[in-house]
Amino acid sequence: MALYLMGDVQGCAGPLEHLLHKIGFSASRDHLVVLGDLVNRGPDSLGVLRRLRALGASAQSLLGNHDLHLLGVAHGDRKAGRRDTLGALLDAPDRTELLEWLRHQHMALHRRVGDGDLLMVHAGVVPQWSVADTMARAAELHAVLRGPDYGAFLRVMYGNEPARWDDHLGGEARLRVIVNALTRIRFCSSDGGMDFESKDGAGDPPPGYMPWFDVPGRKTQGATVAFGHWSTLGWVSRPDLISTDTGCVWGGKLSAVRIGATLAERERIQVKCPQAQKPG
């Protein structure tokens, strides 16, 4: 069985199908993890959700910021944005089934590969969290999102404050920090404060900040963290890091990585994508 990790699809159903064909994906033999932002900005979010849902247990997805935005819009707790491309999905006859499938996806996943830890998130982690901490924080969100009153959470999950994790946080503030860390983080200060304004590449951080994965003493350093979300960062593959968002929706590429028997065994597979949106 091969394990494939795939970067942000963002409604690009054509490139998704092309990439699955290129890697020769077999639902009976292989396993796929899409690292969040399945929908929005691309031309066919409906097709993406239908295709991934049809893969059944052979595919898992993480929830990215665009996926949570979709849930908020569908539930009436978030206004659709001017550049959203969610209309066909929201009007689809199978909308309810697709949205139920989506909200039961994951905020983080952990897997042992050989003798190493593979942690999968959409955006990143704060430096104060270990792998176990990250999975525990994700479980808190899972319980809310999969519960009957998840609409109440969707109404309060947006906002930039608090911008730093504290173990003593509770209630709405605690959940908001967890969401922001797992789905929005790019730059971070040495004490774990998150910046949510800059979308630049890793070489141009805001003053006093650095890429979250370069914070000294980050507690997930012993694991390999795979993530998407950061198209201006692009493809990065180093022992402790796999960055997979290569800007498909911006006319870049859709990328997957095949993980072998150990985390050092990696094969990148990519397909070109048509220009669907202008960055911004």
All residues at 6 or more sequence positions from 125 whose CB lies less than 8 Å from its CB, including other chains = 119, 134, 181, 182, 185, 212, 218, 220, 225
For residues 35 and 32, give the distance between their C-alpha atoms in angstroms, rounded to a whole number.
Answer: 10
One-letter amino acid of 181: A
- Could you tell me if residue 76 is left (phi over 0), alpha (psi between -120 and 50 degrees) or otherwise beta? left
User: Nearest CA to 156 among 142, 180, 173?
Assistant: 173
Given strand 210-211, what is the order of strands in its sheet? 194-195, 187-188, 210-211
Provide the 3-class DSSP secondary structure of residue 137.
helix
Whether the predicted pLDDT of 174 surpasses 70: yes
Whether the predicted pLDDT of 280 surpasses 60: no
* Per-residue pLDDT, 28: 95
Helices marked H in the chain — which ranges? 13-23, 45-54, 65-75, 87-90, 95-103, 131-145, 150-154, 171-183
pLDDT per residue as tens digits for the range 80-103: 889 999 999 999 999 999 999 999
Tell me the mean pLDDT in the region 23-30. Answer: 96
* Per-residue pLDDT, 80: 86
* Per-residue pLDDT, 77: 81
* Per-residue pLDDT, 275: 65
Write out the DSSP string of 50-111: HHHHHTGGGEEEB--HHHHHHHHHHHTSSPPPTT---HHHHT-TTHHHHHHHHHTSBSEEEE
Q: Domains (ranges, CATH) in the chain?
A: 3-272 (3.60.21.10)
DSSP state of 10: T
One-letter amino acid of 82: R
* Per-residue pLDDT, 276: 57
* Per-residue pLDDT, 34: 98
**Is 219 in contact with 126 (CB distance < 8 Å)?**
no
* Per-residue pLDDT, 182: 98
One-letter amino acid of 64: G
Whether the predicted pLDDT of 168 surpasses 70: yes
* Residues in the chain, overall count: 280
**Is 23 in contact with 256 (CB distance < 8 Å)?**
yes
pLDDT per residue as tens digits for the range 98-120: 999 999 999 999 999 999 999 99
What is the percent of the chain with per-residue pLDDT over 90, rounded to a whole number?
91
Q: Using DSSP, how many helices (H) and how many strands (E) does the chain show? A: 8, 13
One-letter amino acid of 167: D
Query: Is 251 exposed, middle or buried, given 0-12, 13-18 or 19+ CB atoms closer than 10 A?
Result: middle
Tell me the mean pLDDT in the region 218-235. Answer: 97
Tell me the mean pLDDT in the region 42-60. Answer: 98
For the chain, give the mean pLDDT: 95
